[in-house]
Structure 1
Amino acid sequence: MSLKYIDILPSTSNKKPSILIVCLHGWGSNADDVASLFRFFQLPNCQFIFPNAPFSYASSPTGKQWYNLQPENMYDGLTESRQLLQDFLLSLASSTGVPLSQTILSGFSQGGAMTLDLGLKLPLAGLVSMSGYLHPGLLKQEVSNTLLKALIMHGKQDEVVPLAAAIQAKVTLQSLGVAVEYHEFDMGHEIRPSMLKLFQNFVISAVQETMSQNI
């Protein structure tokens, strides 16, 4: 099994991408849904990749899931998705020419949870979690990048993933040495343009850091 994905190349096609941005969709959504947000980003030097989760979502013929969230089968598929996504991320350096140190992993809801899970194990440029949460059993040994930065954004009125999950993620990541930028919004379980502006600024900062390190 391999992950299918949407690949959007930089508009400045004559240049190598300065940053690779991988965006993970939420439970029951798909890559097309997240890719529709691309037009809100003004990042011409970045390449975007939107992978589909490997498992079908029972309530929608087009929906996908990284793992089951039904109470009777909670987290079924997580181990498989974790391995598939890790292999996928590790393969991107050769297929895109952009190393993991210039790759930002991001996600919404369940995709945010996968971002925080895999992102702590890989030498990435940064993590972005929107309305996400931590999987149980996070260990300090899983953090392999002591220079890792993370952007966490969450709605104060989120009825799907409570705000407490974002606060827990912030506190836990900070305790592990991750530099966390944290924002709360007056909204529910959703993505708003103000969040994408912060996302964009986070990426620009990562690009500038990468350029300074290569000088």
Structure 2
Amino acid sequence: MSDPDTILEVIGFPQPPQADPPYWLILLHGWGANAADLLPLVPLLAPDGQGFTPNAPFPHPLVPGGRMWYELNLQEDGTVRDPHGEPPREPGPAAGDEAPIDYSCRLLEQWLTTQDIDLSRTILGGFSQGGVMTLEVGLKYPFAGLVVFSGYWLRSLPRSEPSPPILMIHGNQDPVIPVQAAQDSRDRLNQAGFKCTYRELTMGHTINDQAIALAYQFIKTHKKVHK
């Protein structure tokens, strides 16, 4: 694995960032994409808020300009091998003894907790591998809400009290992350006491207009603005 970044590169919208926005939206891209990928969603999902899209710290081995939060095991048909299995733990050269997923979580948490951002007025979301990262990091902190597009819950980790509400959206024709992985994640989250709303759409591994509309309504309901 190539050397990872030691700090996160983050794109904001609008620019310059609002000094004290009513709320924030942070979106985490998927495997092989980059911070620019989900930036067009910010004005659609948070038209009056401040958005940020971080770059994952690891360069993707196959996609020029692509990034990844950690390595994935893919089967020959392109699906994720055992979505709930632990990702490879071989550390990156600059990550010391940390597994790549833990290194990425640490960098993201460092950025989140050193910015002038009120997490109780912040929605964290992500697509695919970014959806996995949303739950990896988001359940530890008192976010206003979490939005998972085409992702799943990988590991049970320390949780925030109160726990943020979760919206999971998944396609029943997803060729990369089987819908059963999302259904299982929904059941595990609810059994663990999280408040998880699950919506299954007729689509593949993507974010369509219906998914955007559902996420917009969730954000509109759960964002917390100044009184």
TM-score scaled by structure 2?
A: 0.81
AA in 2 matched with 1:62? G
Correspondence for 2:119 among 94, 97, 100: 100
SS at structure 1 position matched to 2:197: strand
Q: Write the deviation string for residues 58-106 of structure 1: whole angstroms up to 9, x where unpaired.
A: 11111000001146x73541111011111111122x2xxx311111110
Indicate yes or no: 2:24 matched with 1:20. yes
The aligned counterpart of 2:48 is 45
The aligned counterpart of 1:165 is 181
The aligned counterpart of 1:133 is 152
TM-superposed deviation, 1:173: 1.6
AA in 1 matched with 2:29? H
TM-superposed deviation, 1:11: 10
Tell me how far apart the structure 1 counterparts of residues 173 and 145 of structure 2 sit (CA, whole Å): 26
Contact 1:22–1:49 (Cα < 8 Å) also in 2: yes
**Unpaired segments ≥5 residues, structure 1:** none
Correspondence for 2:172 among 156, 177, 181: 156
The aligned counterpart of 2:38 is 34
Identity of matched residues, %: 37
**Unpaired segments ≥5 residues, structure 2:** 1-5, 75-86, 91-99
The aligned counterpart of 1:178 is 194
The aligned counterpart of 2:11 is 6
Tell me how far apart the structure 2 counterparts of residues 57 and 5 of structure 1 sit (CA, whole Å): 17
Higher normalized helix content (fraction of residues):
1
AA in 1 matched with 2:7? S
Q: Write the deviation string for residues 151-210 of structure 1: whole angstroms up to 9, x where unpaired.
A: 000000111001111112211221222211110011111110111111111111123xx2
- 4+ runs of 1 displaced by more than 6 Å? none
Matches within 5 A, 1:54-65: 54-65=57-68
Aligned residues: 201
SS at structure 2 position matched to 1:161: coil
